[in-house]
Amino acid sequence: MTRPPSAPVAHTPPGRSSGAPGAAFSRITGTGSYLPPRRLTNNDMVEMLAARGIETSDEWIVERTGIRARHFADDGVNASDLALPAARDALESAGRTASDVDLIIVATSTPDMVFPSTASILQHKLGVHGCAAFDLQAVCSGFVYALTVADSMVRSGSARCALVVGTEVFSRILDFNDRTTCVLFGDGAGAVLLEASATPGILAADLHADGRHLGILCTPGTVAGGQVSGTPLLKMDGPAVFKLAVGVLESAARAVLEKAGRSESDLDWLIPHQANIRIMQGTARKLKLPLEKLVATVDEHGNTSAASVPLALDVAVKSGRVKRGDTVMLEGVGGGFTWGAVLFDY
Ligand code: ACO
* 140 carries an active-site annotation: yes
Nearest residue by C-alpha to atom 49 in ligand 1: 334
Residue whose CB lies within 8 A of the most ligand 1 atoms, among 64, 175, 184, 243, for a mutation test: 64
Rounded to whole angstroms, how far apart are CA atoms 325 and 26? 14
Cis-peptide, bond into residue 337, ω within 30° of zero: yes
Among the listed residues 140, 161, 276, 301, the single catalytic one is 140
- For residue 19, the model assigns a pLDDT of 45
| Tens of pLDDT, residue by residue, the chain (346 residues) | 333 333 333 544 433 334 455 679 999 999 999 999 999 999 999 999 999 999 999 999 999 999 999 999 999 999 999 999 999 999 999 999 999 999 999 999 999 999 999 999 999 999 999 999 999 999 999 999 999 999 999 999 999 999 999 999 999 999 999 999 999 999 999 999 999 999 999 999 999 999 999 999 999 999 999 999 999 999 999 999 999 999 999 999 999 999 999 999 999 999 999 999 999 999 999 999 999 999 999 999 999 999 999 999 999 999 999 999 999 999 999 999 999 999 999 9
4 within domain boundaries: no
Nearest-CA neighbor of 165 among 335, 26, 305, 271?
305
Domain match, 220 and 147 both: no
Rounded to whole angstroms, how far apart are CA atoms 114 and 50? 34
320 within domain boundaries: yes
Region class of 225: left (phi > 0), else alpha (psi between -120 and 50), else beta: left
173 within domain boundaries: yes
194 within domain boundaries: yes
Domain match, 178 and 224 both: no
Domain match, 104 and 29 both: yes
> Ligand 1 atom closest to Cα of 241?
41
Question: How many domains is the chain built from?
Answer: 2
Q: Strand order in 202-209's β-sheet?
A: 202-209, 338-345, 327-334, 269-272
- For residue 10, the model assigns a pLDDT of 53
Strand partners, 191: 32, 165
Domain match, 165 and 220 both: no
- For residue 23, the model assigns a pLDDT of 76
Domain match, 306 and 161 both: no
- For residue 194, the model assigns a pLDDT of 98
Domain match, 82 and 161 both: yes
Nearest-CA neighbor of 210 among 260, 253, 169, 247?
247
Domain match, 232 and 165 both: no
45 within domain boundaries: no
- Residue 111 Cβ inside 6 Å of ligand 1? The answer reads no
What are residue 297's phi and psi, to 5 degrees? -125, 5
Pairing relationship of beta strands 235-236 and 217-218 according to DSSP bridges? antiparallel
* 131 carries an active-site annotation: no
- For residue 17, the model assigns a pLDDT of 38
Nearest residue by C-alpha to atom 35 in ligand 1: 238
User: Could you report the per-residue pLDDT of 46-68, keeping only the tens digit for each?
Assistant: 999 999 999 999 999 999 999 99
- Residue 8 Cβ inside 6 Å of ligand 1? The answer reads no
Domain of residue 114 covers 25-36+71-200
Nearest residue by C-alpha to atom 24 in ligand 1: 239
Domain match, 321 and 339 both: yes
* Torsion from C-alpha of 92, 94, 95, 97, nearest 10 degrees: -60
Domain match, 244 and 272 both: yes
Strand partners, 106: 135, 165
pTM of the model: 0.94
48 within domain boundaries: no
In this structure, is the dihedral angle defined by the CA atoms of residues 316, 322, 323 and 324, taken in order, positive or negative? negative
